Amino acid sequence: MSIYLYGRLVVFLLPTLIIGLVVCCILGWWLRLPVYETGIAALLVVMLLTGYVAFIVWGSAADENIDQVAEGMMQSLMLEELPITPRRLQLLGLSTLMLAGMFALAWKLPFTLSIAALALLDGVVYIGMWRFGIAHLKRLVS
């Protein structure tokens, strides 16, 4: 079960981080930011995206259904990703609140404090959602 959760996180996190960092670097170049400020922005992007994606991916374990069969890409996309169930809609609402809180931390606090606060929040999300995901997968399998 842990390999499944880690696999899902890697599959969703790698493309998200690549796109986020590429966009961050392009915007930094376009706005002619110094390398130091672009690095700060890239670090904040990594901190924001890792916590948010882990929250979404591991939180969606509560809505897994091993009885569903998907035929084709569109059907599997609908079953896996779209928030069409009440639990996924609740997860979407909670993740939006969490993302707003993360942005507020990054915006209002000085850089060093915001990095520390985001690291603490990411740690809480990793531990909490990991245990949540494992518990729901164990209940699903048994």
Is there a contact between 126 and 1 (Cβ–Cβ < 8 Å)?
no
Taking 3-state DSSP, the helix, strand and coil percentages for the chain, each rounded to the nearest 5, stand at 85, 0, 15
How far from the centroid of its chain's Cα atoms is residue 38's Cα?
A: 22
Q: Give the per-residue SS3 of 44-57.
A: HHHHHHHHHHHHHH
What are 83-109's pLDDT values in tens digits?
A: 667 777 788 888 889 989 999 988 999
Is there a contact between 106 and 118 (Cβ–Cβ < 8 Å)?
yes
Q: Would the pTM of this model clear 0.75, i.e. be above it?
A: yes
What are 13-43's pLDDT values in tens digits?
A: 999 999 999 999 999 999 999 999 999 999 9
Provide the phi-psi class of 71: left if phi over 0, else alpha when psi is between -120 and 50, else beta: beta
